[in-house]
């Protein structure tokens, strides 16, 4: 399902995304039309080490700029927010060996659900289930890579005005599903990230409960604009559609190993 956003909604979402990446970065290097978000503590984390193009930039200069700013990393990743800018950048980046993928921006357009019963948890409680999930998602991943991907959540505590890690538990107290909720009540916007269910608890409704909790808390905090991102090529965006989300825009991702 696709929904046409109002004239004010996309700038709000785009601004939130730019701030999200800037705020969690250990260091930021600006360039015309964008910036590099970098964190040497988590060099294996693409989410913490990449370029984000959020304005007009020189497409032909972008591959060399990525090499200059990301050359110390095992990956190269460039996000481009605007469709027209992305179209202009695609040729130069693909000639430099980058592959293109699309990520949907999905806005919650359905009714606000009742609280799903998830509760706030700390980093310690999520370490073990998150590590297990990363090993499931990335077969053959090294211990160092898992460590970076798990521990990067500490940097995300600074990514918004109000950050909450939410989890729903089994009757035995085991973490079954979890999600990150990023709130900016003053701007009335909330971002939802990294919804994951432990393998042993898939198909039992836990993801729906933790997502319902995030949406309920966001609305309770006065955030009328609630959104998340979902890979265009993967199935979850269809599940999000059934949960009241609609595609409002696309973020373009260019990656080279």
Q: List the beta strands (DSSP E) in 43-201.
A: 50-53, 76-80, 99-108, 119-120, 162-169, 175-184, 189-197
- Rg for the chain, CA atoms, rounded: 18
* pLDDT at residue 119 greater than cutoff 70: yes
Strands 162-169 and 175-184: antiparallel
Q: 186 with 222: CB under 8 angstroms?
A: no
Q: Kindly indicate the confidence band of residue 124, based on its pLDDT and cuts at 50, 70 and 90.
A: very high
* pLDDT at residue 162 greater than cutoff 70: yes
Around 253, how many Cα atoms within 13 Å sit in the side-chain half-sphere? 19
CA angle 187-80-66, nearest 5°?
Answer: 120
H-type helices in the chain, by residue range? 9-24, 62-70, 83-95, 123-137, 143-151, 206-220, 236-242
Overall average pLDDT of the 224-245 stretch: 95
| Nearest alpha-carbon partner for 53 in 198, 223, 254 | 254
Residue range 177-205, pLDDT digits in tens: 999 999 999 999 999 999 999 999 999 99
Q: Quick one: CA dihedral 145, 105, 233, 55, positive or negative?
A: negative
């Amino acid at each position: 399902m696709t929904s046409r956003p109002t004239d004010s909604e996309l700038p709000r979402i785009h601004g939130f995304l730019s701030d999200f990446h800037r705020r969690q970065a250990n260091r930021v290097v600006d360039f015309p039309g964008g910036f590099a978000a970098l964190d040497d503590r988590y060099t294996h984390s693409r989410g913490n080490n990449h370029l984000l193009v959020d304005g007009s930039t020189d497409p032909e200069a972008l591959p060399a700029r990525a090499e200059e700013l990301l050359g110390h990393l095992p990956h190269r990743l460039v996000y481009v927010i605007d469709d027209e800018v992305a179209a202009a950048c695609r040729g130069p980046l693909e000639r430099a060996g980058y592959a293109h993928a699309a990520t949907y921006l999905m806005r919650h357009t359905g009714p606000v659900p009742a609280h799903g019963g998830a509760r706030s948890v700390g980093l310690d409680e999520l370490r073990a289930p998150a590590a297990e999930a990363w090993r499931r998602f990335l077969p053959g991943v090294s211990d160092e890579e898992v460590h970076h991907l798990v521990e990067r959540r500490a940097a995300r505590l600074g990514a918004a005005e109000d950050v909450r890690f939410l989890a729903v538990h089994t009757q035995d107290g085991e973490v079954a599903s979890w999600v990150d909720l990023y709130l900016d009540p003053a701007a009335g916007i909330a971002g939802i990230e990294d919804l994951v269910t432990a393998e042993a608890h898939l198909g039992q409704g836990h993801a729906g409960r933790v997502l319902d909790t995030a949406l309920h808390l966001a609305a309770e905090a006065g955030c009328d604009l609630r959104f998340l991102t979902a890979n265009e090529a993967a199935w979850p965006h269809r599940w999000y559609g059934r949960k009241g989300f609609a595609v409002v825009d696309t973020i373009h991702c260019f990656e080279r190993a």
